[in-house]
Amino acid sequence: MFNAAEMSEIPLTSSVSKGCFVFKSASKKRKRHVGVGDDENGSDRFRICQKLWETVQTNTEVIQDQLNKKVLDSLAEFIKKHGLGCSSDNWRQRARETPTAALMLGVNVPDHAMTFRSLCNLLQDSVTPFVVSVHAKECAAVKLLIQKVLEQLMGRGVSVDEEQEDDTALLQRTQCTISALCQWYKTVTKSLPVVVIFKDFEAFNSQVLQDFILICSRYTQELPFIFIFGIATSPSAIQHRLPHSVSSLLCIEVFHSLSCTQHLASVFDKLILNSQFPFKLSSRVIQVLVGIFLYHDFSVQNFVKGLQFSMLEHFKSQPLSMLCCQKQEALLSAKTLSKKNVERIRHLPSFMRYVETQEPQEQVQLLTNDEHVKEVCQQLLKNLHKYHKNYYPILQCLHSLTSSLPKFPLGKHIRELHVSCIEKNLWETEEYDSALQLLRILAKDELVAALRKCAEILKSTKILQNVLQQLEDFIGRLEALEGVSSEDSSGNGIISGKMEYQRTDLFQLQKTLLEKESRRTKRMNPFEVLRSQVIEFIDSLVREYLTPAELQPLNEVCYYNSSGVLRQRLNVTPRTSIQAALSHPFYYLQNESLKTDAGTISSAAPDLCIVYKLHLECGRLINLYDWLEAFLTVMSAAEDQDTNSEECGKYDSLKHARFIQAVSEMEFLGFIKSTKQKTDHVARLTWGGC
């Protein structure tokens, strides 16, 4: 029954006949702000994400230190060798010669900062406290370069006011000389070298470098300088930047760091191909991150930042990501799932596929009984963790078997094989069939060596002991075969018979020979039989353990697959982003007042957006006065002025200044430029794509 208040809210209708009318409720839609803190398990997801973030940071630094240890130790030994006898007269190989280390770091410039930080810490701890690192952007002139060196060595700043002579804490600009540094060095010297690191050698002005090296060469007896050049390209950059008269004053030794691709492979093995790291990436997300790495900057640090951004997006957008943690913690969380989260699990595509494979009674339980869903969820999480533990060792074994095959049918790097495995059934691809065909023609020693590598991988992981036992059994049986090769039985087993030779034509002879060839059978020798068994065993492991990740129930909990969002955030084009921001400021600012229809200009938009939209309506040349009038008209609408009144269109100094600033920003962004054709006009530079 309806009460009076409810009856009053129901709209009336006029109808001749009786009928049943349906009225939609006039409930107001609440604004829903998507955020981690709004969800009931937001704090748990944030805690897990923060813990994984710290794990990524720690592992990245450890990998960086391990990979750079060899080259950094070599640099330290180089500096010790040239700095031990610096107090004697023979501490230079030749007079006025400065020891110089050319450190080849590669083109991955964003990764250089961490390397130089580790180098400075190592040198200051074990070699000398006098270590200086300089950037090209801070040293536009040789005076500024010497000033930076003195500031870092003497621990004092440089006074801007030349008249502050009584301030002893600051150096005057006139005191920033190598002579002043020599006087200071004599007071604190411990016969230790002074190391100057040029972080971006190619970016320095060549004249600044030449002058600084020439000046330092005059003080080699008083100051034991040692230079380190951080080079991104090749050692020939030194010859291009320095003439022979200057480079002859340097005793140069080249040091090479590991390539960025090797660094990426180590990060990939430690963070992504690791069963202990619960967060996973889908095949398309990996392709986006690796594509940015290979085709943009070769920066491992940016790759790690992309991984961290994927983590943030996953834990923000997936409410069930609270189960993306270590096994025991995930099982405890599964026991205490709320009713809302149980419903979310039921709506997961992988769980729905799992329900369809069950018996009818089990399906009813999974769709109606929440407690039963929690129990099944715990078992599925156990299976998911077991899948990852078995997946990665078998993946490494398959990579070790196929990485040395001709033309690399399954990829040269393990990341390529991993993408193929989690994307589709690997055994259904032509590349996999080609790899098996090549494995079937391996020689005995090659096959035994490959199987030994697989056994070592399984021994290090300490799982899949039954597989390890079978591999060792195959290795033992192969080694027991002595003096047997595939050619020994090439002539055996041929069914031969008496062939009656008679005069015939060429076609008949060819037909007869083909018939004889088709009846010929070849008996396999023991090695070929055993090799065939090994390949079949490897094929069975691939089909059992390297199934696609999307087939695993609850894979959405751990796997992040929004490659479109990742590409949109990380792989953007500057011009398109700028034009989108200026044309549709709501897209970035998310302010409701900035929503406009196509072809209209919001008066609440920033001045730059208004000026940009107005300039789209102009031709090649833009009249500044007309542009200002249109801008003032939009401003008047923002102040609710009548467009027909005399006050509309008039401007004060503040509006004029805002317009000038917006036009200057447009010129800085490259949309317009001044022109000599007309003094009160500017030229438009961009067209289309708006």
Band of pLDDT at residue 165, cut at 50, 70 and 90: very low
Are 414 and 289 a contacting pair, CB within 8 Å?
no
The predicted pLDDT at position 525 comes to: 83
Given a cut of 70, is residue 585 above it in pLDDT? Answer: yes
Please give the residue that has the higher pLDDT: either 377 or 518.
Answer: 377
H, E, C per residue of 372-420: HHHHHHHHHHHHHHHHHHHHHHHHHHHHHHHCCCCCCCCCCCHHHHHHH
Task: State how far the Cα of 353 lies from the Cα of 554, in Å rounded to an integer.
Answer: 10
Mean pLDDT over 63-75 rounds to: 91
H, E, C per residue of 39-53: CCCHHHHHHHHHHHH
The predicted pLDDT at position 316 comes to: 92
Are 683 and 619 a contacting pair, CB within 8 Å?
no
Q: Provide the 3-class DSSP secondary structure of residue 441.
A: coil
Task: State how far the Cα of 591 lies from the Cα of 584, in Å rounded to an integer.
Answer: 11
Task: State how far the Cα of 537 lies from the Cα of 531, in Å rounded to an integer.
Answer: 10
Beta pairing partners, 133: 197
Q: Provide the 3-class DSSP secondary structure of residue 493.
A: coil
What is the percent of the chain with per-residue pLDDT over 70, rounded to a whole number? Answer: 81
Q: Return the axis-axis angle of helices 624-638 and 607-615, rounded to nearest 10°.
A: 130
Range with lowest mean pLDDT among 9-23, 175-189, 236-250: 9-23
Given a cut of 60, is residue 10 above it in pLDDT? Answer: no
Given a cut of 60, is residue 33 above it in pLDDT? Answer: no
Q: Summarize pLDDT for 391-413 with one digit per residue, the tens.
A: 999 999 999 999 989 889 999 99
The predicted pLDDT at position 97 comes to: 82
Are 391 and 422 a contacting pair, CB within 8 Å?
no
The predicted pLDDT at position 109 comes to: 86
H, E, C per residue of 564-598: HHHHHHHCCCHHHHHHHHHHCCHHHHCCHHHCCCC
Q: Summarize pLDDT for 168-215 with one digit per residue, the tens.
A: 445 565 567 888 888 888 888 677 889 999 999 999 999 999 999 999
Residue-wise DSSP of 230-280 = EESS-THHHHHHS-HHHHTTEEEEEEEPPPHHHHHHHHIIIIIS-TT---E
Q: Summarize pLDDT for 123-137 with one digit per residue, the tens.
A: 999 988 999 999 999
Range with lowest mean pLDDT among 560-564, 594-598, 684-688: 594-598
Range with lowest mean pLDDT among 415-424, 545-554, 567-576, 634-643: 634-643
What does DSSP assign to residue 440?
T
Please give the residue that has the higher pLDDT: either 591 or 259.
Answer: 259
Q: Summarize pLDDT for 307-321 with one digit per residue, the tens.
A: 999 999 999 999 999
Whose tokens are 């600012």? That residue is 589
Range with lowest mean pLDDT among 92-96, 267-271, 357-361, 575-579: 92-96
Q: Mean pLDDT of all residues in the chain?
A: 82
Band of pLDDT at residue 280, cut at 50, 70 and 90: very high
The predicted pLDDT at position 472 comes to: 93
Determine the length of the chain: 690
Are 119 and 74 a contacting pair, CB within 8 Å?
no
Band of pLDDT at residue 87, cut at 50, 70 and 90: very low
Given a cut of 80, is residue 96 above it in pLDDT? Answer: no
Q: Summarize pLDDT for 328-371 with one digit per residue, the tens.
A: 999 999 999 999 999 999 999 999 999 999 999 999 999 999 99
Mean pLDDT over 281-305 rounds to: 92
Given a cut of 60, is residue 644 above it in pLDDT? Answer: no
Q: Summarize pLDDT for 150-160 with one digit per residue, the tens.
A: 888 887 545 44
Are 377 and 331 a contacting pair, CB within 8 Å?
no
Across 74-88, 97-111, 168-182, the highest mean pLDDT is recorded for: 97-111
Band of pLDDT at residue 418, cut at 50, 70 and 90: very high
pTM: 0.76
